[in-house]
Structure 1
Amino acid sequence: MRRQSTRTFVILLSAWLALGWAAAAHAGLSVGADSLVVPGVSMTGMQADFDPQADGQGIQMRLVAKKADIPAMGWRKLGVALEGTLDRDELGRWIFDGRARLRGAPGGAMANATVRIVADEAANTLAVTIAQDKALAEVALPMDQVSHAQITLKNLPAGWLQGLLSTVWSGRPTGGKVDADLALDLLDAGVQAAGQFALDGVGFDTPGGKMAGQKVSGSGRLGLDTSPEGATIDLDAALRGGEWLLGPLYVDLPAHPVQLSLSARTQKGALGIRRLRVTDPDALQLEGELAFDAKGDMAQMRFDRFNARFPAAYERYGKGLMRSWGIDGLKATGEVAGHAAIGANGPSAFAFQTSGLDLAMADGRLGVNGLRGSLDWSADEDRPATKLGWRSLQVYRIPNGAAEGNWRSKGGALTLEKPLAIPVLDGDLRVLSLAWKPAAASGERLQTSLALTQVDMGAFARAVGWPAFGGKLGGAVPSLRYVDDRLELGGGLSLNVFDGFVDITGMVLSRPFGDAPVLAGNIALRKLDLAQMTSVFDFGNITGRLNGSIDDLRLVAWKPSAFKASLVADQGGRISQKAVNNLTTVGGGGMAGGLQGTVMKLFKTFGYRRIGLTCTLKGDVCTMGGLGAAKDGYTIVEGSGLPHLTVVGHQREVDWPTLVRRLQAATKGDGPTIQ
């Protein structure tokens, strides 16, 4: 049959029914057609059989189509079977009561449904009622324009809408029920629909898994306009409960309604939300745009205005985005407002202001209390100066006091306009300069220079869980850069401790905000007072000066994995019996040179000429050494005077955890734990 107007189709169908009625009233009728094509619908392999009822009331009708396509609804290659009773009432209306069975419909739609069709030519109306289990669909349409319909849906499984949704995007419903009152127009190349809807526990997902939802409920108004080029969606809804995943955005909706308004466009798998408004009264208000590419990755996020109240804003909306930035677990209280723009390659602008905000990493590594003020940054234009300060700051368990900085965005960098002094452990950390490039996806992201003055070593030791010891910590970091995902120490950091110096050079901290940061560098020890050191760590008293190095140091998750350590005291001094015993234990050795235990008891201290110990750690094994080779081992202590003392280490290779336990035992567990 050639393509015809909808009106012609209805007239032919009415004539066909009338002919079937007249013929079947006597002997029955069987009619077949190879194909039927009307706007929006095509069927092939059609067969209709009409037989009179035994009681003479109406006729039994069976209609079968091997294949039916409704492209605008996303229904293709369906098998159709319609069977029931056809009759005319006293008003001359055609009435069909029976069952419909569709084979291959999305979500099992109308797999075994009851159907009632009322065709009233005088009133120019066609009404269809379909029920299956608890689902009900009612369709009313004019007979001279069957492409236009008023549709009412109740308890409809969301999966039944898969065909229609497939014309808009690549996702699919995974559960839940839908109620709706819609006006729908089937066009030659798409669908237009508008009306009200309600969702109950609806879920969805996409092939790549980057967009998904579950147990979403709510109600609102929907507008839909599809075409071969894409689809436009307008939505105003109040949603409650359920979870959403939209690329890096994870949303955990509360039980109370959240107002959502948007206008979106889908095209070739990509989704662009051109107008977005979210109102969650106790957590988040925002206006802006979102865009996702065909793979479900976020291509753009722009918030023209946002106001976030914590902790609710983070718990409901911020977890996924923070995790995509390497921050997993954030404790936050307070409020912040502003705007932000982030593209596929990173941020392009942001500004925020707060009168009080507390933030902390869940593991306690970083935290700030009483954050107040504002920042204003843009990658493309210079911005006015702002002030941002805090009541207290914590960095890796080190507490810092209140400070306020003056900031300005210029040339794509957010810079500190003048030096900033931060109180830390009774001393000061002076930030002499700082420049941060938020838009830098690689290369140098941050550059700063720092100076430490008069930091109390006792307070520092308490902060990191070490036994208290005196002294002041001071030094300078002429250049500290954040390049790619690592912190690089330019030049060196020189610290004055134990009346000597500790010089740190070549330090690089990779993945500083990850779960397993990697620290590499070299440490040089110069003229440390052994009497001060050993008194602090309860190792036993040793006098003299210590020099040495820890080269090629590598810590993974703050635990040593490799280094080459060499410690030497070569200017002579005194060593106590306890220190001798502890050095012997650490080296897995014993006394040499004929010194007997009875003689040891006669002396509390001994003179020494040199003390030396080396350890090269690789994996979990430390290769030990000392001043030089000795019989069956290596010399750790070379005595001086009488009694002449020599301590020899016999174990060349020691399991690192075993060595750590020996060191802990040597200090009676009161010293710093090596982790």
Structure 2
Amino acid sequence: MPHLEINLDELLIGESVWRNLRFSCERLNIGRQSIDCDAGQLQLAGKHLPVSLQLFLRQKKIVLTIEPARREKWHLAVAWRPEGWQSSLRIVNGQGRRLAGLLPQYAAWPQLRQARINGTIGLSGRETLLTEWAAKLAITELSFSDAEGLRAGEDVHLQLEADAQRKQQGSWQWRGQLAWLAGGVFWQPFYFTGGGHRLAVSGTSNGQSLRIERGELALSGIGQVAFSGEVERPALALRQARLRAENLEMAALFKSIIQPLAAETAWAETEASGRAGFSWHYQDTGQQSLLLDLQDVTLIDTRERFSFEGLVANIPWQSNGRSTGTIRLEHGQILRIPLGSVHFSLETEGMHFSVPYVELPVLDGKVVVENFNASRQATDWQWQFNGRLFPVSMEKLTEALQIQPMFGTLSGIIPKMNYAASVMTMEGVLVFNLFDGVVVARNLVLTEPLSRTPHLTMDMAMHHIDLDLLTRAYSFGRIQGRVDVEVSDLELVNWEPVRFDASLASSPGRYKRRISQAAIQNLTALGGASAMPAIQRRLLSFFEQFRYAEIGWRCRLRGSVCQMGGIEPASSNERGYVLVKGSGVPAITITGYNRQVDWPELIKRLEHAIKSGSPIIH
């Protein structure tokens, strides 16, 4: 029985190189019209595969069938004609893992793990020149991954149709359609699931470039993006590109694309709705432009820190030109504080953005922001602004914040604020009016304001604060008078205090100094069970109000422990400190004895005292 063995050290097909191929047939049937091998073996990529071979001499055609497993078939037919050759590969339930050893093995690329392939691939050419190819494939159960686990796909189902023709001077005209029907793909930081995503693309390519003349990406639940572009080969450098989309669904767009890019910021916990569109043009010579269009967009923070509704924007941008856009907001809220309708212009010039002036209604007042400027420096954004706060009712503000009512108005001047490298700082001092007094903030540093754990440090002073405006609405009790407050080394983590040195003292000057019976009882509880002598406690039942000479309180907070103090030490035979120094007849003096207090528990019980009028503080 004739025996056939073919060994190929290297086989070049297009740009693919296969090495060490070996075909052997122990039982070769030679006839006048054909040569047949029913039980051959092919050694390919280190694997041995059963093969049947038919060579039709007159037709100049070879048929190769590989059936490596039950119900799996790879059927290759190649025919030679004077005008050229043609081949077709028909795949039935092909296992993709058999191709893993034939595909390029680049460390940076995900590697094929598994796939089931059905369909056909056709090629034709002249001599060693490939002139045309076409493929129609259904790929199911596709899985792939890279070594780091940053890119992976699982149970992906695809349908692919593509073809290409060689034109003059070695260029190719090609087109393709890809439908992603099922499965999930993680491509750090994005995760997508199939469900009707489609890609249609056509273009040309040669040894110097790949040109996409027309492309359309349809993302299920989001919308369609049209694109074109050119990539330089072999470096894959982008020469030019155009993208255009209209009426994209913001809810799915935000969840799938924007949120993964904004991890560890407030945007990662934001829900969106509305419509968006854009048009982008890129040229490697430096010419770039972008037009962003937002229609009736709503952004809501799931932790209720902010919300913006009815956002409409039309923002044009050029890399080397000046443009003016518009932004309109129907209403919103920040920390439950309602914002009114606002409309302003945004000026852009390269990577510099500015808003000269904008008025933002806040309750019954407004915030004016002036000289807002933002620019991109290296890899970080920098911006700055200054402004003013026009009188806002404290009663309306505390109602919006859902805290105990306060009276008076809040207004002030906002100095120049700077933001760079995720840190906001303040030039000068922040001054505003509160409770008929003046509040001054200095040395403000706010780190990562949009993260989940913002960090704030500052110093603050409050001068001549009207205690009557501050306490008149509280069950805690009413106090008339004026106080000065100093808070240094204030440190907040996620808006909770972890460190400060604070002192409160009566303001100098002449003014009415009165304290109610309820306030005395609550301050007595702050100082401990023995904060007031028994004879003074009996006087509380006869008088509604008492005079005082001074009020004072100090707290040195470290972590969760407050080291407390007062106006001065108590008398020499006592270990306490004076919180209220009495005046007149009868004189009421309140002395504190709790030197170390758990801060969270203190706040909790103070809130209980304010709401119920019945303190339980030990």
TM-score range, shorter chain: 0.7 to 0.9
Post-superposition Cα deviations, 1:34-60, rounded to whole Å, max 9, x if no partner, equal xx445418xxxxxxxxxxxxxxxxxxx
Distance 1:427 1:552 in 2: 31
| Structure 2 residue corresponding to 1:393, chosen from 327, 332, 346 | 332
Alignment check: 8 A CA contact 2:447 2:454 kept:
yes
- Counterpart of 1:408 in structure 2 is 347
Alpha-carbon separation, structure 2, partners of 1:454 and 1:670: 31
Q: Could you tell me how far 1:83 is from its partner in structure 2? A: 7.4
Equivalent position SS for 2:611 = coil
Q: Does the C-alpha gap of structure 1 residues 416 and 318 become closer, same or farther in structure 2, counting only changes over 3 Å?
A: closer
User: Which residue of the partner structure matches residue 40 of structure 1?
Assistant: 11
Partner Cα separation in structure 1 for residue 335 and residue 130 of structure 2: 59
| Partner-residue secondary structure (3-state), 2:101 | helix
Equivalent in the alignment of 1:433: 371
Q: Which residue number in structure 2 is paired with residue 367 of structure 1? A: 307
Looking at structure 2, the residues matched to 316 and 444 of structure 1 have their Cα atoms a distance apart, in angstroms, of 24
Q: Which residue of the other structure, out of 83, 88, 91, is the alignment partner of 1:153? A: 91
Residue 557 of structure 1 deviates from its aligned partner by 1.2
Q: Letter of the aligned partner of 2:499 in structure 1?
A: A
Secondary structure of the structure 2 residue equivalent to 1:665: helix
The Cα of 1:513 is off from its aligned counterpart by: 1.2
Partner of 1:133: 70
Which residue number in structure 2 is paired with residue 656 of structure 1?
599
Q: Partners of 1:531 and 1:425 in 2: how far apart?
A: 24
Amino acid paired to 1:136: K
Q: Does 2:518 match 1:578?
A: yes
- One-letter amino acid matched to 2:29: D
* Distance (whole Å) between structure 1 residues aligned to residue 526 and residue 25 of structure 2: 92
8 Å CA contact retained: 1:166, 1:172? no
> Are 2:392 and 1:490 aligned?
no
CA–CA separation in structure 2 for the residues paired with 1:363 and 1:341: 37
Structural mapping, 1:4-15, within 5 Å: none
Rounded to whole Å, the distance in 1 between the matches of 2:584 and 2:282 is: 73
Structure 2 residue matching 1:628: 3-state secondary structure:
coil
> SS of the counterpart of 2:484?
strand
1:627 aligned partner: 567
Counterparts of residues 14-25 of structure 1 (less than 5 Å): 20-21=1-2
Question: What RMSD over aligned residues (CA atoms) do the two structures have, in Å?
Answer: 4.1
SS in 1 for 2:90: strand
Segment drifting more, 551-560 vs 602-611: 602-611
Structure 1 position 330, deviation (Å):
3.0
Amino acid at match of 2:198: V
Gaps of 5+ in 2: 166-171, 232-236
Query: Against the structure 1 CA distance between its residues 589 and 642, is the aligned structure 2 distance closer, same or farther, given a 3 Å change threshold?
Result: same
Letter in 2 for 1:585: A
Q: After the TM superposition, which of the residue ranges 173-182 and 192-201 deviates more from structure 2?
A: 192-201
Residue 610 (structure 2) aligns with: 667
1:545 Cα offset (Å):
0.6
In structure 1, the partner of 2:253 is 313
Equivalence for 1:98: 39
1:234-633 aligned within 5 A = 235-253=176-194, 255-261=195-201, 277-280=216-219, 283-288=222-227, 304-307=243-246, 308-323=248-263, 327-340=267-280, 350-383=290-323, 385-410=324-349, 412-417=351-356, 419-437=357-375, 439-441=376-378, 445-569=382-506, 573-588=513-528, 590-592=530-532, 595=535, 597-630=537-570, 631-633=574-576
Conservation of the 8 A alpha-carbon contact between 2:312 and 2:328: yes
- Alpha-carbon shift at residue 442 of structure 1 (Å): 5.5
> In 2, distance between residues paired with 1:629 and 1:394?
47
Q: How many residues align?
A: 588
1:120 counterpart = 2:56: yes
> Matched residue of 2:453: which SS?
coil
Mapped partners of 1:250, 1:322: distance in 2: 14
Aligned to 1:24: none
Question: What displacement does 1:643 show?
Answer: 2.9
Contact kept, 8 Å, 1:553 with 1:563, in 2: the verdict is: yes
- Whether 1:197 and 2:137 are equivalent positions in the alignment is yes
Measured at CA, do residues 487 and 140 of structure 1 come closer, stay the same or move farther in structure 2, by a change above 3 Å? same
Q: Deviations over 1:169-215 (max 9, x none)?
A: 72212333222311358999999964222222423222343433333
Shift of 1:634: 1.9
Which 5+ residue runs of structure 1 have no aligned equivalent?
1-19, 22-28, 42-69, 226-230, 293-297
CA distance in 1, matches of 2:557, 2:289: 46
- Tell me the TM-score normalised to structure 2 length: 0.82
Matched residues in 2 for 1:206 and 1:184: separation? 31
Moved more, 579-588 or 508-517: 579-588
Residues 373, 661 of structure 1: alpha-carbon distance in 2 compared, 3 angstrom cutoff: closer
Using the size of structure 1 for normalisation, the TM-score is 0.76
